Structure 1
Amino acid sequence: MPRGSKEKYTDKQKRKAEHIEDSYKEKGVSEDEAEARAWATVNKQSGGGERKGGSGQKKSSTAKTQDRQQSARRAVATKHGVPRSKSASLEEQTKAQLLEKARAKNIPGRSTMRKQELIEALQR
């Protein structure tokens, strides 16, 4: 027998679970197992009990358009190697990124340096 109250499920979800349960019973599955499988299927398909629609985010169409444009600009900048923000500090970068910068500046001994050593060498 499935656990929990089914009060928060919509009528449509309840009908769907009943239909699925009947289908399992016709296949010879025990009543308890059929009910458990039916509710598991409904939960997987709809995410559980009754839910309010939407993500809760309310944006105007102009705000959405502006966000899309900014996102596209950031994507192009990233593609061309520009860091996400101009203030992206060396500490926020990965060691591989730091090694690449050190290679571009031809810093000697870079391959054996630790991350902090790379940061210090790049700051010089």
Structure 2
Amino acid sequence: MPRGSSDKRERQYEHIKESVQERGESEERAQEIAARTVNKERARSGEARTASRTSTQDMSSSRRGGLRSGRGAGGPTREQLYNEARQRNIKGRSHMTKDELSEALGRRS
């Protein structure tokens, strides 16, 4: 987190980081996603010194997360299913298709 960040942004960073790790991403990737998200929110609300055009004109991170989180028409990606299967220690997961992973995880297709 950048120096001078508010307590709210610190909490937001930790919440996002934990959520990303629960989805099966590495800690390094979770930190990157959380930092990018919080920095974008800081830019949108005028807390950052500089802001790119996309940070201020694109849809908010919270809205985008709901739209592009892998829960849309196609459902979770194979990679997301694989990561969940790895966390649950499902055998043979590396040879499974997306549909097979979904079935092994007990999801409806």
Task: Kindly name which structure, 1 or 2, has the bigger radius of gyration based on alpha carbons.
Answer: 1
TM-score scaled by length of structure 2:
0.38
